[in-house]
Amino acid sequence: MTNKFPDNFWWGAAASAPQTEGASNVDGKSPTTWDVWHEREPEAFFNQVGPDLTSDVYHRYRDDIQLMKDMNLNSYRTSISWARLLPDGKTLNEKAVAYYRDYFQTMLDTGIEPVINLFHFDMPWWMMELGGWENADIIEHFAYYAKVAFEQFGDIVKNWATFNEPMVHIECGYLGDAHWPRVNDFKRAIQVGYHTLMAHFAAVRSFRQSGVEGKIGTILNLSPVYARSEEAADLEAQKWADLFHTRSLLDPIALNQFPQELVDILKEHDLLPTLYAEHDELLTQAIDFLGVNYYQPLRVKAREEIPSTLERPSSLYAGYDWPEKKMNKYRGWEIYERGIYDIAMRIKNDYGNVPWFISENGMGVADEERFIDESGIVQDTYRIEFIRDHLTWLLKSINEGSNCFGYHLWTFVDCWSWLNAYRNRYGYYRVDLENNLERTPKLSSFWLREIIEKNELDI
C-alpha cells in the first residue's frame, strides 16, 4: 500500500456557471429556469437569495484563478451557461465567447486544466417554455449547443462533460419539487430521463464529428446502495434501488446498453418511453471517462407491501435508517467514507475499469462564521477530516487497481446553492456576503495545498 497518488493526479475543485457567475442579466444572457423561478417565487429560496447574487465569477475569475494557483490546484471543473452562449438557442453571443475564452485561457496559462461541463441543471427559459426535457426537440437543440461549444472552445478545452448529475434534474423536477417544473409523474420522468440520455449521446457524437482533440465524458451522482440485511427481500429491494438510481443511467452511458430487467419492469407497467428515431445509432456512442459525484450512500430495506402500480422507484423498496450512521446534520446527508471505495470497485469490476475521477465530494456546513479565528480564517477541521477520510478510502481503491485519476472537492469558493442559496458553505475559500464578496482561505485550503505538493496522504 502506497500513500502516493498517481502521477498527474487531478487535484481540483468543482463548480457550475449558474452557481458562481452571477451577472444573470448581463451582456446578452437570456434567463434560465432558475432566474424565472426566483423572480416569480423568491420566497422559495433561502433568505430569498437567487442566482443573481453569487460569488460573481463573471467579473472575478482572474482573481479566483490566482487563488487556485496559491492552493496548488492543477484542474478545475465548471460549466458553460447555455443561456449565455446561445441566448435564443441559435444566435452566438460574442460577449459570452470572449468571457469563456479568457476564463479558460487564464486557467491554462496558470497551469490549471479546465474541465468544462455543458449542462448543470440550468435549462434556458426559452427551452423550458417549449416543454424542456419533455420535448424530444431538445436533443437536437442540445447537440447544436454542444457543437457550438466545441467549435468555440475546442482549441483550448481538452476535457469535456455533457451533464452534471442528470438524475437530479429528472428526479427533482419530475418526481419532486426541488427543481422546476415540479411535476410529479413517473411516466413523464422516464421520458425526461430518456431524452436526457439521448441528448448526452448526441453531444458525444457531435464531439467526435467536430474533430476536436480531447476527451469527453459525463458526471453522475452515484450512491452505493446498501441493503439492511442479507435476507432475500432486502436484497431484492437493493437490486431495484440500484437499477433505478444507478444502472438506469450508468449502464447506457458506460456500457452502451440498458439493463434488461429495468426495461422489462417498465414494459410491464406501461412506462417505457417513446423512442427517438436515432436511438440505435446514438446508443453506440462511448465515453472516454466518467466523473463521479459522491456525497452519500442509499440504504434500503424491503417494503412491507409492494403496491400494484409503480408510481416511483421507491414503490419497490423502502428507505432504511441505519442506526449507526454518521450524519452531516446541516445537509441531512449520511457521511460514509467507505462508499467511495465501493464505487471504485464497482467501476473496476462491472464497468471495465473505465478511467474516472471524483468530480464532487464535500461537506456543506451552516454558519461557518462561528469557526473564524482571530486571524480571520475559518477553522474547518471537520472538512479536513471529511476529505482525509474519503481520500484514505480512495487511495486504498487505487492501490487495488482502480483507474481513478483525480479528486475534485465541491467547491472552491463558497457558492450559491439552489434553493439553499448560501445556507451551507462548501468552499476551500469563504465568501463574505456582507463585505463585497471578499474571499478568505479556510484552514482546509492550506491543508490540501500540502497534500497536493507531496501528492501523498500522510496517514
Q: Which residues are catalytic?
A: 165, 360
Cβ contacts of 91-98, under 8 Å, gap ≥ 24 = 92/148, 92/152, 93/27, 93/28, 93/29, 95/27, 95/28, 96/27, 96/28, 96/29, 97/152
| Closer by beta carbon to ligand BGP, 33 or else 293 | 293
Q: What is the maximum alpha-carbon separation in the chain? A: 64
Cell 448526441, residue located: 202
# residues contacting ligand BGP (CB under 6 A)? 15
Check binding of 81 to ligand BGP (CB under 6 A): no
Q: Binding to ligand BGP by residue 417, rule CB under 6 A?
A: yes
Residue nearest to ligand BGP (CB): 417
Least distance to ligand BGP from the beta carbon of 117, Å? 10
Per-residue buried b or exposed e for 62-88, using 16+ beta carbons within 10 Å of the residue's own CB? eebbebbeebbbbbbbbbbbbbbbbbe
Q: How far is the CB of 121 from ligand BGP (least distance, A)?
A: 7
* Contacting residue, 186, 317, 410, 429, with ligand BGP by CB under 6 A: 410
Stretch that binds ligand BGP, among 41-49, 313-321, 343-351, 414-422 (CB under 6 A): 414-422
User: Smaller CB distance to ligand BGP: residue 30 or 296?
Assistant: 296
Should residue 418 be labelled a site residue for ligand BGP when binding is judged by CB under 6 A? yes
The nearest distance, CB 174 to ligand BGP, in angstroms, is 16
At 296, give phi and psi (nearest 5°): -155, 155
**C-alpha cell, 337:** 467514507
Q: Shortest distance, CB of residue 359 to ligand BGP, whole angstroms?
A: 9
Containing H/E element for 149?
A: helix 137-153
Nearer to ligand BGP, 145 or 410 (CB): 410
How many CA atoms lie less than 13 Å away from 258 in the CB half-sphere? 20
| Cβ-contact 112, 158 below 8 angstroms | no
Task: Determine the Cα–Cα distance for residues 217 and 222; give it in Å rounded to an integer.
Answer: 15
- CA 415, CA 418: separation in Å to the nearest integer? 10
364 scored as a contact of ligand BGP (CB under 6 A): yes
Residue 224 within binding range of ligand BGP, rule CB under 6 A: no
Q: Which stretch binds ligand BGP (CB under 6 A): 107-115, 314-322, 349-357, 413-421?
A: 413-421
Q: Cβ of residue 418: shortest distance to ligand BGP, in angstroms?
A: 6
Q: Among 39, 82, 78, 32, which residue's Cα sits nearest to residue 57?
A: 78
Q: Does 420 bind ligand BGP (CB under 6 A)?
A: yes
**Residues in 283-312 that interact with ligand BGP by CB under 6 A:** 293
Residues 432, 285: Cα–Cα separation, whole Å: 44
Asked if 408 touches ligand BGP (CB under 6 A), the answer is no
Provide, rounded to whole angstroms, the least separation between the CB of residue 53 and ligand BGP: 15
Least distance in Å: CB of 333 to ligand BGP?
A: 8
Running DSSP on this structure, what letter comes out for residue 371?
G
Q: Is 193 in the site for ligand BGP (CB under 6 A)?
A: no
Please choose, out of 53-61, 283-291, 389-397, 412-420, the segment that lies near ligand BGP by the rule CB under 6 A. 412-420
Q: Which residues ranging from 116 to 175 are in contact with ligand BGP (CB under 6 A)? A: 164-165, 168
Q: Report whether 27 contacts 96 (CB < 8 A).
A: yes
Query: 291, 357 in Cβ contact below 8 A?
Result: yes
Nearer to ligand BGP, 310 or 409 (CB): 409
Per CB under 6 A, 330 contacts ligand BGP: no
State the nearest-atom distance from the C-beta of 204 to ligand BGP, in Å.
20
Could you say which of 33, 117, 328, 424 contacts ligand BGP (CB under 6 A)?
A: 424
Phi, psi at 61, each rounded to 5°? -60, -35
CA 70 from centroid of its chain's CA atoms: 25
Enumerate the H helices of 154-255 as residue ranges.
166-174, 186-210, 232-242, 248-250
247 touches ligand BGP by CB under 6 A: no
Task: Report the interface residues with ligand BGP, using CB under 6 A.
Answer: 16, 19, 164-165, 168, 221, 293, 331, 360, 364, 410, 417-418, 420, 424
